[in-house]
Amino acid sequence: MVGLIQVHRMDSMGNDLTVVNAARVSFDKFKEELEYSDEKLIQYLAEHGHWSPFSHCFIQFKIDAPIFVARQLMKHTVGLGWNEVSRRYVDDDPEFYTPYEWRRRAADKKQGSMAEAVSSQDIANRIKNESDRIALNCYDRLLKLKVCPEQARMVLPQNMMTSWFWSGSLYAFSRVCNLRLKEDAQEETREVAQHISDHCAVEFPISWKNLVKEDKQHVG
């Protein structure tokens, strides 16, 4: 089965007014409605590094992505919670990710890949599909031998899809997006970050446009 990168917003708490009230509590002030002056306040908070008011808004996602993407993103831990499907307990046939296109290796190893695609896309896909079939066959054979799933899973490849719940503060996710939407981030990781950014821009429009650089935003 072919897996697709997907990001679903599951829940959220707070809004732009939440940020404003968190900031104004220092003066024992509370507002019921957002005004233009509040937009300026949010801008000021973001520009001058007053992050704590943005930590009072939360959002939760359910994300489907290949293992090699998940393992990059799970490095972000501050202000975030992560719970993932476990192959210790789940032993049904996995889905495997296939990229939209195979990219060329960059001359600079630090960059990972180039925007240019390799010419042999069909051959690359056949190699990947063969690898998927072999891995799945080995996994099924181990399970038929009554090997426990927590050991049988070791033969599954990094392009196997996984799912996780990712929850955290607005500020925490802005840090993720400001890093993972950079041009030098891996394209598949940028895809997840872009979906997160799009959702946050809808839920917290004023805060998000000030927390995440304008060239990183794209609401589709």
Please give the positions annotated as active site: 180
Q: Residue 201 corresponds to which tokens in the numbers above?
A: 């821009």
Give the type of residue at 63.
Answer: I
User: CA–CA separation, 148 vs 200, rounded Å?
Assistant: 40
103 and 109 Cβ atoms separated by less than 8 Å: no
What the block records as the tokens of 47 is 């520009």
Helices then strands, each counted (H, E), the chain? 8, 8
Alpha-carbon gap, residue 172 to 212, rounded angstroms: 11
Q: Which of 67, 1, 42 is nearest to 205 (CA)?
A: 42
Dihedral angle sign, alpha carbons of residues 205, 206, 212, 216: positive
Identity at 68, one-letter amino acid code:
F
d(CA 116, CA 102): 9
